Amino acid sequence: MISERECIELIQRYAAVQKNEYLVKGIGDDCAVIKKDETDHLLLTTDTLVEGVHFNLDWHPPYLLGRKSASVNLSDIAAMGGRPKACLLSVAFPGSVPSWFEDFMKGFSDVLVEHDTLLVGGDTVKGHHDIVITVTLVGETDKKHTCYRAGAQPGDTIWVSGPLGSAAAGLSLCQKGLCDLSDPADKWQQLVKAHLDPEPLVSLGKALAKSGLVRAMMDISDGLATDLAHLCKAGGVGAEIQQDLLPISETLEQAAAQLQTDAIDWIVKGGEDYQLLFTAKPSDERKLRQLVTDLTGGEIFAVGRIIEGQGVYLCHNGKREDISYQGYDHFQG
Amino acid sequence: MISERECIELIQRYAAVQKNEYLVKGIGDDCAVIKKDETDHLLLTTDTLVEGVHFNLDWHPPYLLGRKSASVNLSDIAAMGGRPKACLLSVAFPGSVPSWFEDFMKGFSDVLVEHDTLLVGGDTVKGHHDIVITVTLVGETDKKHTCYRAGAQPGDTIWVSGPLGSAAAGLSLCQKGLCDLSDPADKWQQLVKAHLDPEPLVSLGKALAKSGLVRAMMDISDGLATDLAHLCKAGGVGAEIQQDLLPISETLEQAAAQLQTDAIDWIVKGGEDYQLLFTAKPSDERKLRQLVTDLTGGEIFAVGRIIEGQGVYLCHNGKREDISYQGYDHFQG
Q: Which of residues 204-263 of B touch A (CB under 8 A)?
A: none
Q: Do A120 and B4 touch (CB under 8 A)?
A: no
pLDDT at B332: 45
pLDDT at B123: 82
Nearest CA in chain B to A127: B50
Confidence at B22, pLDDT banded by 50, 70, 90: confident
Q: Which of B54, B105, B128 sits opposite A51 (nearest CB)?
A: B128
Asked whether residue B188 falls in the same domain as residue B79, the answer is no
- With beta carbons less than 8 A apart as the criterion, state whether A147 and A278 touch: yes
Distance CA B112, CA B121 (A): 13
What is the tens place of the pLDDT at every residue in A38-57? 999 999 999 999 999 999 99
Nearest CA in chain B to A109: B14
Give the CATH number, domain containing residue A230: 3.90.650.10
Asked whether residue B129 falls in the same domain as residue B182, the answer is no
Q: Write down the pTM of the prediction.
A: 0.94
Q: Which of B15, B50, B138 sits opposite A125 (nearest CB)?
A: B50
Range of the domain at A260: 157-322
Q: Which of A111, A145, A179 is the last residue of a domain?
A: A145
pLDDT at B330: 52
Query: Beta-carbon neighbour count of residue A320 at 10 Å?
Result: 12
pLDDT at B331: 47
Query: Which of B156, B170, B185, B194 minimizes the C-alpha distance to B75?
Result: B194
Mean pLDDT of chain B: 93
Is B330 inside a domain boundary? no
Count of alpha carbons within 13 angstroms of residue A295, beta-carbon side: 19
pLDDT at A293: 96
Is B331 inside a domain boundary? no
Q: Has residue B233 got a pLDDT over 90? A: yes
Q: Which of A145, A179, A200 is the last residue of a domain?
A: A145
Q: Has residue A125 got a pLDDT over 70? A: yes
- With beta carbons less than 8 A apart as the criterion, state whether A201 and A214 touch: no
Q: Has residue A284 got a pLDDT over 50? A: yes
Is B60 inside a domain boundary? yes
Q: Which of residues 86-105 of B touch A (CB under 8 A)?
A: 86, 88-90, 92, 96-99, 101-102, 105
Distance CA B95, CA B223 (A): 35
Q: Which of residues 136-155 of A touch B (CB under 8 A)?
A: 136, 138
Q: Which of B27, B32, B128 sits opposite A129 (nearest CB)?
A: B128
What is the tens place of the pLDDT at every residue in A1-39? 787 778 888 888 898 888 888 899 988 899 999 999 999
Asked whether residue B58 falls in the same domain as residue B163, the answer is no
Is B329 inside a domain boundary? no
Mean pLDDT of chain A: 93
What is the tens place of the pLDDT at every residue in B122-147? 788 889 899 999 999 999 999 999 99
Query: Which of A177, A203, A182, A180 minimizes the C-alpha distance to A77?
Result: A203
Q: At what angle do helices A101-114 and B4-15 cross, to 10 degrees?
A: 20
> Where is pLDDT greater, at B187 or B302?
B302
- With beta carbons less than 8 A apart as the criterion, state whether B188 and B179 touch: yes
> Looking at beta carbons, which residues of chain A come within 8 Å of B112?
18
Category of B4 on φ-ψ map: left (φ > 0), alpha (ψ -120 to 50) or beta: alpha
First to last CA, chain A: 18
Mean pLDDT of A121-142: 92
> What does DSSP assign to residue A32?
E
Q: Which of B110, B145, B180 is the last residue of a domain?
A: B145
What is the tens place of the pLDDT at every residue in B153-192? 999 999 999 999 999 999 999 999 988 777 878 889 999 9
Is A183 inside a domain boundary? yes
Is A79 inside a domain boundary? yes
What is the tens place of the pLDDT at every residue in A54-94? 999 999 999 999 999 999 999 999 999 999 999 999 999 99
Asked whether residue A170 falls in the same domain as residue A308, the answer is yes
Query: Beta-carbon neighbour count of residue A313 at 10 Å?
Result: 20
- With beta carbons less than 8 A apart as the criterion, state whether A296 and A223 touch: no
- With beta carbons less than 8 A apart as the criterion, state whether A225 and A324 touch: yes
Asked whether residue B90 falls in the same domain as residue B172, the answer is no
**Which of A72, A126, A133 is most worth mutating to test chain B (most B CB atoms within 10 A of its CB)?**
A126
pLDDT at A332: 45
pLDDT at A320: 95
What ipTM was estimated for this complex?
0.92
Count of alpha carbons within 13 angstroms of residue A159, beta-carbon side: 28
Nearest CA in chain A to B7: A97
DSSP codes, A49-66 = EEBTTTB-TTT--HHHHH
Is B294 inside a domain boundary? yes
Domain count, chain A: 2
